[in-house]
């Protein structure tokens, strides 16, 4: 059964019958995991094994595992620093910051890969404009070239660990104070202002071979009245044609408030996001909405979208975390990144 265009969440640390029913639906193509799905690395590995065993090709398994506030799995995993900590090092020692960014990406990917997770939605390519609470220290830097520099190195580290990178939140979520999880988010800037700043990391990362991009649930009314993730102008004209992005476009969670005010029903959001150009849509923390989409969505996956999704499967599986900890490169990388930003006291964003 080929992969479908819908990525869903699951209830807990093991698959329920309702989970299995949804994951076996032809429209389903992936699973996104959260902190509630994790007890320890052995439980996680068993859960991912069960998910992968359901179908062939196996469903994609993803997670938001950026570091800092957004690290879903903590126990048994290395603490990943907030990306701003790498930006602080870049200000004084750019070569060291690049090295640590690559080591960070390697550790992040290798540990997830050892538990059969296919990829993380990382890196954040947003610019730190100093006024977005939801982005904040998730961003590398206020300088777009520093963001590109460090994100590129992180991507190279992810690749060494067997994973591809997914940049977010196109075309940039760092300028506004509003949190699109909770409210309508509007960025009033002109296109040229966005292009000369926030778009720079996306363009450079695309040139470096970025595999995936997640658009923001933000409205840029000077460009289009629709949020970027529902905008043919942003996704087709600008991202595909102008920036020449050929990778996979993942919607942000369609249950977020930034998407909900635009279209009321989950089915209409799903149809609009796919029609605008998303290859896969995320539906999280709303089982009724997931069922509404699975029961009502009419969508034929193109060969191009299927190829893009197939590319996102993890590579170079390194065995268990126990085996990974016998790898000298991994041990050295953990040692090097373990002290980054320890004073920040980051807490998980659930």
How far apart CA 126 and CA 136 sit, in angstroms, is 9
Give me the catalytic one of 9, 116, 224, 252.
252
How far apart CA 54 and CA 194 sit, in angstroms, is 43
Task: Identify any residues that bridge with 283 across adjacent strands, giving them in sequence order.
Answer: 8
Cross-sheet strand order for the sheet of 212-215: 119-120, 60-63, 28-33, 6-8, 280-283, 248-253, 212-215, 166-170
Whether residue 9 lies in the annotated active site: no
Give me the catalytic one of 58, 99, 129, 181.
181
Q: Which CA distances in Å does 74 have to 25, 108, 112, 157? A: 31, 11, 11, 20
| Residue 342 · residue 83 · CB < 8 Å | no
Whether residue 181 lies in the annotated active site: yes
- What tokens were used for 61? 């398994």
| Residue 174 · residue 189 · CB < 8 Å | no
Which residue ranges make up the annotated binding site for substrate? 64, 72, 138, 168-169
How far apart CA 116 and CA 113 sit, in angstroms, is 5
List the catalytic residues.
181, 252
């Amino acid at each position: 059964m080929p992969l479908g265009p819908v990525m869903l969440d699951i209830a807990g640390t093991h698959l329920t019958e309702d989970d299995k029913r949804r994951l076996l639906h032809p429209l389903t193509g992936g699973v996104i995991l959260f902190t509630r799905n994790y007890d320890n690395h052995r439980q996680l590995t068993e859960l991912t094994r069960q998910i992968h065993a359901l179908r062939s090709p196996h469903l994609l398994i993803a997670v938001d595992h950026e570091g800092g506030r957004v690290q879903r799995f903590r126990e048994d995993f290395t603490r990943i620093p907030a990306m701003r900590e790498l930006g602080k090092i870049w200000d004084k020692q750019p070569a060291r910051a690049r090295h640590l960014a690559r080591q960070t990406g390697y550790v992040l990917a290798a540990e997830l890969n050892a538990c059969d997770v296919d990829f993380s939605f990382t890196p954040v390519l947003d610019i730190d404009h100093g006024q977005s609470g939801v982005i904040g220290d998730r961003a590398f830097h206020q300088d777009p070239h520093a963001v590109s520099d460090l994100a590129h190195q992180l991507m190279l580290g992810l690749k060494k660990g067997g994973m591809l990178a997914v940049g977010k939140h196109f075309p940039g979520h760092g300028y506004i104070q509003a949190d699109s999880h909770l409210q309508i988010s509007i960025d009033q800037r002109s296109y040229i202002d966005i292009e000369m700043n926030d778009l720079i990391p996306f363009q450079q990362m695309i040139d470096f071979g970025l595999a995936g991009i997640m658009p923001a649930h933000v409205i840029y009314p000077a460009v289009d009245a629709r949020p970027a993730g529902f905008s043919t102008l942003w996704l087709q004209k600008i991202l595909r044609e102008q920036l020449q992005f050929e990778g996979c476009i993942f919607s942000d969670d369609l249950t977020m408030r930034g998407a909900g005010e635009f279209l009321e029903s989950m089915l209409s959001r799903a149809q609009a996001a796919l029609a605008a150009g998303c290859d896969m849509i995320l539906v999280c923390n709303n089982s009724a909405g997931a069922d509404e989409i699975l029961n009502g969505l009419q969508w034929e996956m193109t060969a191009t979208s299927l190829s893009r999704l197939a590319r996102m499967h993890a590579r170079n599986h390194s065995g268990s975390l126990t085996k990974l900890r016998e790898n000298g490169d991994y041990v050295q990388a953990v040692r090097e990144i373990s002290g980054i930003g320890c004073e920040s006291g980051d807490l998980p964003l659930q």
